[in-house]
């Protein structure tokens, strides 16, 4: 994976996975994102690092935050942006995704942002395309969501500065969540003191013991003394059977409310990648409360995506 993502003369060719991404590159993306956040305040005009380039959003699954922030990020960098409507595209006539992408490359697309329900589709495209176009994984099944991992870790760095003294708890549907996989990888690469996962046994992946995390099955134990709480949505669209008894039962046992949050440190951050389901994994008082940085995550998503696309294009 590392060679596919980072070639010898180009710093970042594709972004497919957090796994195999150097700590140095992650920190450079964070520093660049800091610069873009700062510039947003001090400069009203666009940055031109993607001037003349074309970014194509290929979303085979629904999205609000990822697709919109990629579009805003690309436009702030002066790129042309295409949001291909998959439902009305020639995919419905049986065209393969590789043929689709190669046709768009013939139209001079430079960066593809791909979300797909099948794990590995962005990597398959990256391995087989007939050009130097860049592929960014915007979420592939239950496997990875690397820009979400980057923006979440960036948000933690903004508030907590360093990872080496942090205890971070990731709560909920670990098994079906691509966000959880990217979070565990990036927190590990950045040297986080302790990564905990909390959830019912039915929502833990089979290989959880190999993930270098501490596993908890009660909120009270798992949240004890943590610095960061990362909540996850229940991924019903990826569940083949009744993995949880009911939403109300799930909320009773694993929902984040003010009382449970008191087990964490007083200054603990609450994150959620969105979309949030109020009353299922988090109560409104916490989602909208003073420890929540959920909307800061969304804002940081623009800066992180600007940094990633600039790094790809700048190093040619």
- For residue 220, the minimal CB distance to ligand CP (Å) is 27
Nearer to ligand CP, 111 or 113 (CB): 113
Nearest-approach distance from CB 115 to ligand CP, in angstroms? 7
CB of 65 or CB of 299, closer to ligand CP: 65
At closest approach, how far in Å is the CB of 316 from ligand CP? Answer: 28
**Which one, 69 or 310, has the nearer CB to ligand CP?**
69
Shortest distance, position 237 Cβ to ligand CP, whole Å: 11
Handedness of CA 4, 235, 257, 223 (dihedral sign): negative
**Is 56 strand, coil or helix?**
strand
Residue with Cβ nearer ligand CP (70 or 250): 70
Q: What is the DSSP letter of 44?
A: -
Output phi, psi for 286, to 5 deg.
-85, -45
Measured distance CA(138)–CA(16) in Å, rounded: 8
DSSP for residue 282: B
Q: How many CB atoms lie within 10 A of CB 234?
A: 22
For the bound state, the minimum distance from the C-beta of residue 67 to ligand CP, rounded and expressed in Å, comes to: 6
Q: Which residue's beta carbon is nearest to the bound ligand CP?
A: 66
Spatial neighbors of 103 by CB under 8 A, at least 6 apart, are none
Q: Which residues bind ligand CP (CB under 6 A)?
A: 63-66, 139, 148, 273-275
Nearer Cβ to ligand CP (146/200):
146
Tokens of 95: 């065209």
CA distance linking residue 289 with residue 133, whole number of Å: 42
308 in Cβ contact with 79 (< 8 Å): no
Of 6 and 148, the one with the shorter C-beta distance to ligand CP is 148
What secondary structure does DSSP assign to 203-239, as a single string? GS-TTGGGSS-EEESSHHHHTTT-SEEEE----GGG-
CB of 63 to ligand CP, least distance (A): 3
Those residues whose C-beta lies under 8 Å from the C-beta of residue 208, and which sit 6 or more positions away, are: 174, 197, 215
Nearer to ligand CP, 230 or 268 (CB): 230
CB of 18 to ligand CP, least distance (A): 14
For ligand CP, the closer of residues 191 and 275 by Cβ is: 275
Minimum CB separation of residue 69 from ligand CP in Å reads: 8
Task: Measure Cα distances from 162 to 27, 72, 154, 159 in Å.
Answer: 12, 29, 10, 9
> What are the angstrom distances between the C-alpha of 41 and each of 45, 77, 298?
10, 15, 16
């Amino acid at each position: 994976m590392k060679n596919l993502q980072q070639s010898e003369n180009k710093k970042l060719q594709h972004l497919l996975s957090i796994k195999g991404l150097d700590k140095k590159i992650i920190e450079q993306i964070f520093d660049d994102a800091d610069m873009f956040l700062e510039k947003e305040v001090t400069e009203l005009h666009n940055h031109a690092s993607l001037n003349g380039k074309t970014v194509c959003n290929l979303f085979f699954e629904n999205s609000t935050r990822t697709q919109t922030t990629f579009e805003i990020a690309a436009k702030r960098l002066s790129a042309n942006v295409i949001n291909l409507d998959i439902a009305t595209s020639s995919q419905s006539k049986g065209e393969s995704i590789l043929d689709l992408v190669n046709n768009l490359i013939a139209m001079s697309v430079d960066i593809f942002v791909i979300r797909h329900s099948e794990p590995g589709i962005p990597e398959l495209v990256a391995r087989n395309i007939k050009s130097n176009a860049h592929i960014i994984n915007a979420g592939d099944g239950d496997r990875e969501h690397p820009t979400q991992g980057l923006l979440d870790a960036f948000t933690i760095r903004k508030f907590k500065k360093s990872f080496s003294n942090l205890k971070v708890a990731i709560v909920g549907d670990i098994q079906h969540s691509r966000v959880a996989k990217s979070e565990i990888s990036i927190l590990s690469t950045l040297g986080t003191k302790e990564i905990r996962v909390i959830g019912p046994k039915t929502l833990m992946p089979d290989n959880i013991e190999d993930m270098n995390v501490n596993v908890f099955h009660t909120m009270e134990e798992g949240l004890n003394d943590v610095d960061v709480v990362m909540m996850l949505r229940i991924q019903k669209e990826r569940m083949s059977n009744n993995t949880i008894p009911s939403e109300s039962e799930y909320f009773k046992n694993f929902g984040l409310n003010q009382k449970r949050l008191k087990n964490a440190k007083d200054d603990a951050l609450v994150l959620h990648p969105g979309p949030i389901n109020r009353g299922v994994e988090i109560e409104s008082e916490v989602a909208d409360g003073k420890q929540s940085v959920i909307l800061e995550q969304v804002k940081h998503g623009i800066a992180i995506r600007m940094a990633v696309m600039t790094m790809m294009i700048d190093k040619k």
